[in-house]
């Protein structure tokens, strides 16, 4: 089950975190993985790890905020069976202390970047009358989180774009879903704690972990698992859905 033999998969943000875990898992399941990331070194590292393990991978340095660049990269790939939109950034702040520059920066990566990749991928999927897309939304698109104004805005947009694409391309055989993780232990979390809580990293990590009912953060590999399922033939009846993978955060928090 969940094999992807012969599939061409594009994963954005694949240089680290959830994107990297997804790229590695897709390769293990037989896909040719196109590793897409802005960071050239991280991009090459993920692709190299796949190749070292006997998988198939090609690295592509790409700024997802620039539509022309995205179009060029995707046209160079030429065939995409599966797209995972994992590239994204975060921001801490409410509406009063979120600057216009912060707002635009998050919009450009988390909303426009997803739009650019959707636009490029759909045009390649349509002629084949088949394709699967998974976008990374967040629990922030479903519940109110403190000090996540701009981030919540972008993830709400991702959820809405997912529904729109799923509806518009039913007749083209293209499925589109999104997932909504809670906190995931990625390099972003470690860097955030190091920057904002120097000397208190362990204490704050424990506090953030316990803010989720299950008592810990998710591992990137756990998020990759549900992405793999949604991209597989076993999920062929699923489209236009958002899957919380949140350790009980949405339904069990009191």
For residues 20-58, one letter each, b for 16 or more C-beta atoms within 10 angstroms of the residue's C-beta and e for the rest, the string is bbbbbbbbbbebbbbbbbbeeebbbbbbebbeeeebebb
**254 pLDDT above the threshold of 80:** no
Quick one: tokens of 61?
Answer: 């340095």
Task: Tell me the mean pLDDT in the region 202-225.
Answer: 94
pTM (two decimals): 0.96
- Please report which confidence band the pLDDT of residue 127 belongs to, taking 50, 70 and 90 as the band edges: very high
pLDDT, the chain, mean = 96
Domain residue spans of the chain:
8-182+219-243, 185-217
Q: Is 197 a catalytic residue?
A: no
151, 197, 229, 243: which one is catalytic? 151
Q: What is the model's pLDDT at position 65?
A: 98
Q: Which of 98, 78, 124, 89 is nearest to 12 (CA)?
A: 89
Average pLDDT estimate for 197-215: 92
Q: What is the pLDDT of residue 244?
A: 96
Q: How far apart are CA 71 and CA 79, in angstroms?
A: 12
| Residue 215, pLDDT score | 94
Residue 150's pLDDT is 97
Q: How far is CA 54 from the centre of its chain?
A: 24
The CATH number fitting domain 8-182+219-243, selected from 3.40.50.720, 3.40.640.10, 3.40.50.12280, 3.40.50.1000: 3.40.50.720
Average pLDDT over residues 46-55: 98
Q: Calculate mean pLDDT across residues 19-31.
A: 98
Parallel, antiparallel, or unpaired for β 8-12 and 174-181?
A: unpaired
- Rounded to 5°, the CA angle 3-139-7 comes to 20
**Strand partners for 149:** none
Sequence-distant (6+) residues with CB within 8 A of 54 are: none
């Amino acid at each position: 089950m969940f094999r992807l033999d012969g599939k061409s998969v594009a994963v954005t943000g694949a240089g680290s975190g959830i994107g990297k875990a997804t790229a590695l898992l897709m390769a293990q399941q037989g896909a040719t993985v196109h590793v897409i990331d802005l960071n050239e070194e991280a991009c090459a590292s993920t692709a190299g790890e796949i190749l070292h393990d006997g998988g198939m991978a090609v690295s592509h340095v790409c700024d997802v905020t620039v539509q022309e660049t995205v179009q060029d990269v995707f046209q160079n790939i030429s065939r995409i069976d599966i797209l995972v939109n994992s590239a994204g950034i975060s921001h801490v702040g409410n509406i009063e202390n979120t600057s216009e520059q912060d707002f635009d920066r998050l919009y450009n990566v988390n909303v426009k970047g997803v739009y650019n990749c959707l636009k490029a991928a759909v045009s390649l999927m349509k002629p084949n009358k088949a394709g699967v897309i998974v976008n990374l939304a967040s629990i922030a698109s479903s519940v109110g989180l403190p000090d996540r104004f701009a981030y919540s805005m972008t993830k709400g947009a991702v959820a809405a774009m997912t529904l729109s694409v799923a509806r518009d391309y039913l007749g083209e055989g293209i499925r589109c879903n999104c997932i909504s993780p809670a906190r995931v232990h990625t390099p972003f979390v470690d860097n955030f704690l190091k920057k904002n809580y120097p000397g208190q990293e362990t204490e704050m990590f424990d506090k953030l972990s316990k803010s989720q009912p299950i008592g810990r953060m998710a591992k990137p590999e756990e998020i990759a698992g549900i992405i793999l399922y949604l991209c597989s033939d076993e999920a062929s009846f699923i489209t236009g859905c958002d899957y919380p993978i949140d350790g009980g955060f949405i339904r069990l928090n009191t």
